[in-house]
């Protein structure tokens, strides 16, 4: 039962999860378990394929490799707790556990946002300056871009964690969500959250809009370059190179923007929960498919792997 607002300090929260669908508990558990299993297995498969095939040892697949690993960690920040809560009557989580879950979730999410921007720059370098691509996108620069994304995401999340730990929670303690997400925590806080909301707006501009701006500028140059390509085959190849990345960016940024930029209210909680399922559970599973289905190099690598496997067996 939720605790009423009083002078006491809340030390744990009750996650409602998907309790509004009690008759679908087993079905939802099996669906989310299958999605999590596919997320881990598909991303691990993509990482292994890129690692084993020397033809894929290029900057583009270096970033896709890191994105696949990041998606495994990202999904794992929420999925195990969500799955374990399906058959618990009391889905409690301590305040410390709640804060740390959001810290890891936010850190990985911000890192992915920065990494998607780095991948857009990589596509710009490959299409707009193909002759200088390997020189401009050196292994050192690629490592620095990945490391910079991780460090930026970590410190961006650390700022939020420090601010979150300053908030006071005196009740109620019920979070209508399947993980500890910031909008729901702010609703429950007894403290004045005005400064926190200003800080979140600033971080959204720094991370979200800056990343989107980098992506838009990169693709502006890319589109201009593609339009100058005379052959239809060349334009198609260039477009297919970028289509998967644009799809991933649209899905991730679209669902994230809906949750964090739309005002929270009781009427929007169900929509926010559904959008959260998209960017925390569905997208990490879809990314390996998005980057593989229309990718000729990945398909060729799979054929080479199958050929080697078949020859080893005989």
pLDDT tens per residue across all 314 residues of the chain: 444 455 567 888 999 888 888 888 899 999 999 999 999 999 999 999 999 988 889 999 999 999 999 999 999 999 999 999 998 888 899 999 999 999 999 999 999 999 999 999 999 998 888 888 888 899 999 999 999 999 999 999 998 898 888 888 887 888 888 999 888 888 888 888 888 878 877 877 777 788 888 888 998 998 888 888 777 777 777 777 788 888 888 888 777 776 666 655 555 566 777 778 888 889 999 999 888 877 788 888 888 887 776 665 55
Give all strands of the β-sheet with 92-94 in edge-to-edge order.
92-94, 12-15, 174-175
**Element of type H or E holding 13:** strand 12-15
Distance between alpha carbon 208 and the CA centroid of its chain, in Å?
A: 13
Provide the pLDDT for residue 290. 87
Helix (H), strand (E) at residue 300: helix 296-313
CA 17 to chain centroid, in Å, comes to 20
Please provide the DSSP assignment of 84-118 as one string: HHTT-SS-EEEHHHHHHHHHHHHHHHHHHHHHHHH
pTM metric for this prediction: 0.88
Report the alpha-carbon distance of residue 37 to residue 40 in Å, rounded.
5
pLDDT at 117: 92
pLDDT of 223: 86
Would you state the pLDDT for residue 1? 40
What is the reported pLDDT for 50?
93
Fold designation for 12-308? Rhopdopsin 7-helix transmembrane proteins (1.20.1070)
List all residues 6 or more positions away from 18 whose beta carbon is below 8 Å from its beta carbon: 24, 25, 28, 86, 178
Q: Per-domain residue ranges for the chain?
A: 12-308
**What pLDDT does residue 6 have?**
54
Query: Is the peptide bond prior to 172 cis by the omega test (within 30 degrees of 0)?
Result: yes
Q: Which residues pair with 92 in a beta bridge?
A: 14
């Amino acid at each position: 039962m939720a605790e009423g607002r009083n002078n006491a300090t809340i030390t744990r929260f009750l996650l409602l999860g998907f309790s509004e669908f009690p008759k679908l508990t087993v079905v939802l558990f099996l669906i989310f378990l299958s999605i999590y299993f596919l997320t881990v297995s598909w991303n691990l498969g993509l990482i292994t394929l890129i690692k084993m095939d020397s033809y894929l040892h290029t900057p583009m697949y270096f970033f896709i490799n890191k994105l696949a690993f990041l998606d495994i960690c990202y999904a794992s920040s929420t999925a195990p707790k969500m799955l374990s809560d399906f058959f618990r009557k009391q889905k409690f989580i301590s305040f410390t556990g709640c804060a740390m879950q959001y810290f890891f979730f936010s850190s990985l999410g911000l890192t992915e946002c920065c990494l998607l921007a780095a991948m857009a720059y990589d596509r710009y370098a490959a299409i707009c300056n193909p002759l200088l691509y390997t020189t401009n996108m050196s292994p050192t620069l690629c490592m620095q871009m990945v490391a910079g994304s991780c460090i930026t995401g970590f410190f961006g999340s650390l700022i939020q964690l420090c601010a979150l730990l300053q908030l006071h929670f005196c009740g109620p303690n019920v979070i209508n969500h399947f993980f500890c997400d910031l909008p729901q925590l702010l609703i429950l806080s007894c403290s004045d959250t005005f400064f926190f909301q200003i800080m979140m707006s600033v971080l959204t501009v720094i991370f979200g809009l800056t990343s989107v701006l980098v992506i838009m500028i990169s693709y502006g140059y890319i589109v201009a370059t593609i339009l100058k390509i005379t052959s239809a085959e060349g334009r198609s190849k260039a477009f297919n190179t970028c289509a998967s990345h644009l799809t991933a960016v649209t899905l991730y940024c679209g669902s994230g923007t809906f949750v964090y930029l739309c005002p929270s209210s009781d009427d929007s909680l169900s929509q926010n929960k559904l959008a959260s399922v998209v960017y925390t559970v569905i997208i990490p599973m879809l990314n390996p498919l998005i980057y593989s289905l229309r990718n000729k190099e990945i398909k060729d690598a799979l054929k080479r792997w199958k050929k080697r496997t078949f020859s080893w067996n005989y």
